[in-house]
Structure 1
Amino acid sequence: MFDIGFTELLLVGIVALVVLGPDRLPGAVRTAGLWIGRIKRSFSAIKAEVEREIGADEIRRQLHNENILELEREMNAAKQKLNSPLSSLTETPSATETSLQDKNPQP
């Protein structure tokens, strides 16, 4: 996230030691650590909330897709029911009919 190397951290520590002095430096570091901890917890709470929302949206989207698929299956079933009487009229001759036609050729 931040590109801070060891030398930069060492420089910040030396400047803090010079500015704050050895008496107040431990308290300042402790306070900074507490604030950093609070900020991290806040960000993790926000991140968890966003992930929950995204998960809820994904579940809603998945349910919607399943409903669409179910409607499509119902439409295909209804279509097959409508086409089944028509298909019996336009079926190709069965195997026995073809074998009879082969034995008795028509002129």
Structure 2
Amino acid sequence: MFDVGISEIAVIGVVALVVLGPERLPKVARTAGHMFGRLQRYVANVKADINREMEMSDFSKVKEEVQSAVKSFEQTIHEHANAVNAEAAAIEKSAGESVGQTKAPPTPVALSQIDLLTAQEEGLPLAATEKPTTTMVERKALETYSPVQTAQQSFDLGIETPRRISR
């Protein structure tokens, strides 16, 4: 901080001894040391605050850049979504004009094997390529049960579940 050598410190010490005297010199030196320590801590805190503010300004710049990128991305997505919606509306309109104004209600189609069996039981029409090929055992295997249902079935069948041993 200061460019003070040993000879300058010795001169300051001799002058302080002459001016203050031998009784008050230790007390003044102790007080000066405490004040110098406070000054160093204060300077360190100011430096840390300045560095924190500089980092925050850097982060705020990055945050603004990211927010602008997000806004431009959202705007692009909305533009594309609007274009797709407009295209879909045009296709629906042209399909409605070519087929006519009478629309047949959509027929439900089963998606999985369980749905195929359920649809067959309910008398719903199946697609030409979909044929139920599962047996009753396979159908039961495809169904999912909650842990409570599984435990209840095990209890009904007389199967004991392993118990934890507490120590």
Q: What's the TM-score bracket when you normalise by the shorter of the two chains?
A: 0.5 to 0.7
Q: For residues 3-28 of structure 1, what are the alpha-carbon distances to aligned partners after superposition, in whole Å with 9 as ceiling and x for unaligned?
A: xxxxxxxxxxxxxxxxx932300111
Residue of structure 2 aligned with 1:88, choices 76, 93, 103: 93
Instruction: Give the TM-score normalised by structure 1.
Output: 0.62
- Look at both structures and tell me which one has the larger radius of gyration over its CA atoms: 2
State how many pairs are aligned.
77
Residue of structure 1 aligned with 2:68, choices 63, 71, 77: 63
The residue that corresponds to 1:76 in the other structure is 81
The residue that corresponds to 1:104 in the other structure is none
The residue that corresponds to 1:28 in the other structure is 33
State the superposition RMSD in angstroms. 2.4
The residue that corresponds to 2:45 in the other structure is 40
The amino acid of 2:53's aligned partner reads A
Per residue, is there more helix in 1 or in 2? 1
Q: Identity over aligned residues, as a percent?
A: 7
Q: For residues 40-79 of structure 1, what are the alpha-carbon distances to aligned partners after superposition, in whole Å with 9 as ceiling and x for unaligned?
A: 0000000011111111111110000000000001111111
CA distance in 2, matches of 1:66, 1:87: 31
The amino acid of 1:44's aligned partner reads D
The gaps in structure 1 that reach 5 residues or longer are 1-19, 99-107
The amino acid of 2:57's aligned partner reads R
Runs (4+) off by over 6 Å: none
Q: Residue 29 of structure 1 aligns to a residue in which SS? A: helix
The amino acid of 2:33's aligned partner reads A
Greater RCO (CA < 8 Å, at least 6 residues apart)? 2
